Amino acid sequence: MLDIKFIRENPDLIKAAAKKKRIDFNVDELLRLEGRRSALLTEVETMRAEQNSYTDKIARASDQTERQSMIDQMKLLKDTLMAKEEELKGVMEGWRFEMLQVPNVPDISVPDGESDAENQEVKRWGEPTAFPFPAQSHIDLMEKHDMVDFERGTKVSGFRGYFLKGDGFMLANAVWQLAIKHWGAKGFMPMLVPSLVRRETFLGTGYLPQGEDDLYKTQDGDFLAGTGEVATMGYYMDETIDISGGPIKFLAFSPCFRREAGAHGKDTRGLIRVHEFFKWEQVVLCEGSHEESVRLHEEINRNTEEFIELLGIPYHTVVNCGGDLGLGQVKKYDIELWVPGEGKYREISSASYFHDFQTRRLNMRYRDKEGKLRFVHSLNCTAIPTPRILVSIVENYQQSDGTIRVPEALQQFMGKSVIGG
């Protein structure tokens, strides 16, 4: 959510933001509602003050006729006030709805483009893996070594269901342990966060109202989160937090759930796109400074790049174009890993910063050096998701005899150097 004062003063900037993000938003309608809201608020406050004045006058009146006249006038004022308050209530509902649709302004460095097809590569690490033998997919390799069971997963859980087992589970666990070690050394607080999250937290982080079709909903109106970011951002909701010691850095772990409503027919086999998975997420809160947000954005994205380099998997990093940004994102990077079985890079991580878009909705503030209350800035970045990371590990580390080498960084947690040997 943006400051309404900023929106009033910069309507053309909001229009340009909506255009760049390919979001259908009518800022003129919001400003029309804002004008009506402001006028009604003034009328209502004036009437309430007048009503209080009548109350005092009636209490002091000694003449019965004069007293009754004021009572009649106050009753008429009360009826008018109630009608105005009801009108204000309706206008406020429309105003709040429109305010939740306002797109954040993307950074000037964000390239123009319609979709992820127009994201721009900014870095490449390692050469795409090529084999002197017929390469196998992660599905064939993992089924061969009894690391996964898709058939029984579908029987038990439905479409996109899976059981991760044996060395499949142990490999995922090794990734988790390396993540704790890697991000712990960088000062991140590990935290197990809820997956069942209330609606207001989803609204606060900007996943609602636009993304509801991709969420699983409970009978009580709560939702299952598709990322630990949502619950972690709700941790300090409606609080004034102390960041005098520097940015607050969380490494959040949680089960994640996504309906993949817009992915019909895409990646229907294997572990690339599943309904239930586990993810480590970096969440950072810092002072309300653009320069600090930019610095930390580069830092958290680099954290994940370093982790992928520890695993020795080729990757490239892209900057997302305007059409591939969400409502609240100012700028985003995606890290994509090489998948030999498909002969292309696939997304493994996204790093975003939001300025105060989320924290204004969630009412998360801090006191600056002058003691003034300000909204903190928020950032997040995927640390590593499982089981998706296993796709690239297994396919990039396969050997001619069908065995799978374990990346050196994971061997201490796996207790072996080869799967299937």
pLDDT tens digits, one per residue of 49-69? 888 777 777 777 777 777 777
Tokens of 228: 């630990």
Sign of the CA dihedral with 194 first, then 183, 416, and 340 last: positive
Q: What's the mean per-residue pLDDT of the chain? A: 94
Q: What span, in angstroms and rounded, lies between the C-alpha atoms of 225 and 197?
A: 7
Catalytic residue, candidates 388, 392, 395, 405: 388
CA–CA gap between residue 74 and residue 71 (Å, rounded): 5
In this structure, the strands spanning 248-257 and 418-419 are unpaired
CB 404 within 8 A of CB 174: no
Q: What percent of the chain has pLDDT over 70?
A: 98
Which residue out of 258, 360, 361, 365 is catalytically annotated?
A: 258
Look up residue 179 and give its two tokens.
Answer: 């993540």
Residue 350 assigned as binding residue: yes
Residue 43: per-residue pLDDT? 93
Residues 6+ apart with CB under 8 A from 4: 34, 99
Q: Is 277 annotated as a binding residue?
A: yes
Q: Which is catalytic among the residues 273, 302, 346, 367? A: 273
**Catalytic residue (one of 85, 212, 299, 347):** 347
Residue 226's nearest CA partner among 266, 196, 256, 195 is 256
Examine the residue annotation and report whether 96 is marked as an active-site residue of this protein.
no
8 is catalytic: no
Assess whether 269 carries a catalytic annotation: no
Evaluate if residue 398 carries a pLDDT over 70.
yes
Helix, strand counts (H, E) of the chain: 13, 17
pLDDT for position 287: 97
User: Using one digit for the tens of pLDDT, what is the confidence trace for 282-341?
Assistant: 999 999 999 999 999 999 999 999 999 999 999 999 999 999 999 999 999 999 999 999
Known catalytic membership, residue 302: no
pLDDT 10s digits, 135-161: 999 999 999 999 999 999 999 999 899
Per-residue confidence band for 37, with pLDDT thresholds at 50, 70 and 90: very high
380 marked as binding residue? yes
CB 140 within 8 A of CB 273: no
Cβ proximity of 314 and 128 under 8 Å: yes
Q: Which long-range contacts (CB under 8 A, 24 or more apart) does 146-153 make?
A: 147/171, 147/394, 147/419, 148/271, 148/387, 150/269, 150/270
Percent of residues, the chain, with pLDDT higher than 90:
86
From residue 242, alpha-carbon distances to 228, 365, 375 in Å are: 22, 9, 12
Query: 260 labelled as ligand-binding?
Result: yes
> Residue 251 pLDDT more than 90?
yes
Would you state the pLDDT for residue 368?
95
CATH of domain 116-419: 3.30.930.10
Q: What is the CATH number of domain 4-99?
A: 1.10.287.40
End-to-end CA distance of the chain: 55
User: How many other C-beta atoms are found inside a 10 Å radius of the C-beta of residue 258?
Assistant: 20
pLDDT at 261: 64
- If pLDDT is split at 50, 70 and 90, which confidence band does 265 have? low
- The DSSP secondary structure of 331-383, one letter per residue, reads EEEEEEEEETTTTEEEEEEEEEE-TTHHHHHHT-EEE-TTS-EEEPEEEEEEE
- What is the distance between the alpha carbons of residues 110 and 209, in angstroms, rounded to a whole number? 24
The catalytically annotated residue of 293, 350, 352, 392 is 350
Check: CB of residue 203 under 8 Å from CB of residue 361: yes
User: 182-237 pLDDT, tens per residue?
Assistant: 999 999 999 999 999 999 999 999 998 877 888 999 999 999 999 999 999 999 99
The reply to whether 347 sits in an annotated binding site is yes
406 annotated binding-site participant: no
Q: Where are the domains of the chain?
A: 4-99, 116-419
What pLDDT sits at residue 264? Answer: 62
The answer to whether 287 is a known ligand-binding residue is: no
- pLDDT attached to residue 75: 83
pTM value is 0.91
Q: Collapsing DSSP states into helix, strand and coil, what is residue 215?
A: coil
What is the CA angle 195-382-363, rounded to 5? 60
pLDDT score, position 39: 95
Report the half-sphere exposure of 319 (CA within 13 A, side-chain side). Answer: 16
Q: What does the pLDDT read at residue 142?
A: 97
Binding site annotation covers 87?
A: no
pLDDT value of residue 53: 78
Question: Is residue 152 among the annotated active site residues?
Answer: no
Report the pLDDT averaged over residues 85-99. Answer: 94
> What is the reported pLDDT for 76?
85
